[in-house]
Amino acid sequence: MSKKDEKKLMNKEMVIDAIKDSFKKLNPKYMMKNPVMFVVEVGFIITLFLSFFPTAFGDNGTGLRTYNVIVTIILFITVLFANFAEAIAEGRGKAQADTLKKTRKDTQAKLLGSDGKVKVISASELKKGDIVLIEVGDLIPNDGEVIEGIASVDESAITGESAPVIKEAGGDFASVTGGTKVVSDWIKVEITVSPGESFLDKMISMVEGAERQKTPNEIALNTLLVSLTLIFLIVIVTLYPMAQYTKVEIKVATLVALLVCLIPTTIGGLLSAIGIAGMDRVTRFNVIAMSGKAVEACGDVDTMILDKTGTITFGNRMAAEFMPVKGQTVEELTKYALMSSLKDNTPEGKSIVELAEKRGITDDVNKYNSCEFMEFTAQTKMSGMDLPEGIKIRKGAGQAVKNFVTNQGGIIPDDLDEIVNGISKLGGTPLVVSVDNVIYGAIYLKDTVKPGLVERFERLREMGIKTIMCTGDNPLTAATIAKEAGVDGFLAECKPEDKIDAIKKEQAEGKIVAMTGDGTNDAPALAQADVGLAMNSGTTSAKEAANMVDLDSDPTKILEVVEIGKQLLITRGALTTFSICNDVAKYFAIIPAMFTLAIPQMNKLNVMGLSSPTTAILSALIFNAIIIPLLIPIAMKGVKYKPMRAELLLLKNVTIYGFGGIIAPFIGIKIIDIIITPIVKALGIM
């Protein structure tokens, strides 16, 4: 499937496959999984029988066979449309699964024996614990951990990201995934899974809609729909003998039509499609949900626990402020800090240049082509520039610069230590700037909060979600970052066990908790959280403990995943509201039509002004069928979600989808009635 087709709601090939699947799903064994639509199918079988034997249940009247045939066709189309909704949702997942399957080739593996010799075997023969050698151009045969070597790995087969990632033994970046490719150097990998149990295999099974398990909320809603179906089934079954007793003639096909219109067929036909589409939206966001329950839990999240480094902050130190010592000006300090950094290509050096430019001080690097640039080294702990006239500009660690200055006979300013220690207490890194034997001050480097996070955390707050930042920094640094980022709370000097305690504390209060992580030490907390999002670049244990894996390894993505979960629940609620309100309007079409001949006064309830009892019933039944495919785009895309309080969201959905659910049938049924009235007259079944 092309990139263009992937963005489409559905393409020609997907529609054709979905139509075929719609017929396959007519199997009663499959239909029984959806009790509401199974009742419609049973109704179809009954009316199909009556089409051949119209008087089998004592019905009489002209045009009865034709009437039964028409009802049968409409019921059949209703079931097909419901099956199509589910099949088209599954088709999007299966298309992704097919793409993933292309990466799962029967690759060759270089198995290392105990004697160190290489034996080439099929990847399918590998067992857990085997050691394999993977060199440049080799596909990684199965999931594992790097135990020796370092290499660049192309993971575009599963992430879509073309930039290779570095994998090396030890740490949190030793995990490799089967189907990815080594593009430089070599690594030795210990296989950690058996054939057929790799992460890629799990991805394929998860994105295929047919493998999806129903979530708790979906099961609860399904139970409600079944209960409503049983209630109306009992009503219809008892209505027939009552009508016979009171000498009111009601055709069996009409009773079936009444049942189909009374039971919540709209949401019954779309329920599975909504759930599958929810998982599909997460997958298209490059996050693999290990279950539908995980996606649904995202919609119920009350508390989000986030690591500071790499999630809230960039994780590298950026220049934040120029702090001169007494006797020196900010302008002079900024000028020399800029000069010392013009040829410094480190992130810190570039950030100093950017900060100086923001302060209105600029310089041209070409002016210093004849100067000697001193790169930072672990030995000197300084960098800088030597000008042709002999001036030496340096920036670096406080003690290193102090030693450099005193060696040239300079004097250390009295307030320098106070400035340096103050920066350190804030969790920042001080870089002292000197020119020859004079110290001008210090540059405050700090871990910078990612842009846009303040607004995103505010969005979460509007949803009623509390954010907690976890960091190993001291309380003062943690408080500074937390305030700047706009989180609701923080845990300073946080150890792995502290994360678990924080999650358990929130859960004890009945809250649903989400968190992100990538390391082995994050695995227990990821397992404890209701929603655990592991980074694909992280360890195998972290990915196994979590119920979601982010293929892009972007920890902040959990914010969007939560919104997708919210959207799933809102879509289901909105369409359920629409379906139930839909049924209310359909009552006004069918009930008066059924009894108006025997009880003329019932015609007062014919508020739609429908032509006849027959056209009223057929119009309601046709509307009931066509509304399902019309709602498929909403079920697939999801109802547009804006962060707001639950009560406001409920009021909005009830207003739009509740009111719309009542109005739409009145308009739709009336239009259909106008269209089919001449046809019904021509067929002689008025």
Q: What is the DSSP letter of 510?
A: T
Residue of 216, 189, 58 whose CA lies nearest to 123: 189
Residue 605 identity: L
DSSP string, 227-256: HHHHHHHHHHHHHHHHHHHTT----HHHHH
- Residue 517 sits at φ, ψ, to 5 deg, of -175, 165
Instruction: Report the relative pairing of strands 313-324 and 372-374 from DSSP bridges.
Output: unpaired
Q: Residue 598: helix, strand or coil by DSSP?
A: coil
Q: Which residues does the annotation place in the binding site for Mg(2+)? A: 518, 522
Tell me how far apart the alpha carbons of residues 291 and 205 are, in angstroms, rounded to a whole number.
Answer: 10
Strands 513-517, 531-535: pairing is parallel
CA–CA dist 316, 158 (Å, integer)? 28
Q: Name the active-site residue from 307, 473, 550, 554.
A: 307
The 3-state DSSP class for residue 603 equals helix
Single out the residue of 7, 203, 213, 3 nearest to residue 94, CA to CA: 203
Question: What does the alpha-carbon distance between residue 130 and residue 144 come to, in Å, rounded to a whole number?
Answer: 9
DSSP 154-216: E-HHHH---S-EEEESSTT--EE-TT-EEEEEEEEEEE-S-TT-SHHHHHHHHHSGGGPPPPH
Q: Which residues are annotated as a binding site?
A: 344, 348, 376-383, 395, 518, 522
Q: How far apart are CA 551 and CA 569, in angstroms?
A: 24
Extract the annotated binding site for ATP: 344, 348, 376-383, 395
Residue 417 a catalytic site member: no
Positive or negative: CA dihedral 123, 127, 128, 131: negative
516 CA to centre of own chain: 14
| Residue 507 tokens, joined | 């859960």
3-class state of residue 325 by DSSP = coil
Q: Can you tell me whether residue 288 is helix, strand or coil?
A: strand
- Please identify which residue in the block is written with the tokens 């096909």: 253
Distance CA 556, CA 563 (A): 12
* Nearest residue to 116 (alpha-carbon basis) of 99, 100, 103, 133: 133
CB 192 within 8 A of CB 145: yes
What are the residue ranges of helices labelled H in 486-557?
Answer: 496-508, 523-528, 540-545
Which tokens go with 234? 């009992």
**Cβ proximity of 299 and 566 under 8 Å:** yes
Query: CA 6, 12, 13: angle at the middle one, nearest 5?
Result: 80
By CB atoms closer than 10 A (0-12, 13-18, 19+), residue 412 is middle
Q: How far apart are CA 596 and CA 355, in angstroms?
A: 82
Q: Which amino acid is at 420?
A: V
Neighbouring-strand partners of residue 430: 444
Rounded alpha-carbon distances, angstroms, from residue 28 to 25, 158, 677, 681: 8, 37, 34, 36
What residues form DSSP beta bridges with 317?
447
Give the containing element (helix H, strand E) for 435.
strand 429-435
Segment holding 295, helix H or strand E? helix 292-299
Is the separation of the CB atoms in 140 and 176 below 8 Å?
yes
**Would you please indicate which residues are annotated as catalytic (active-site) residues?**
307
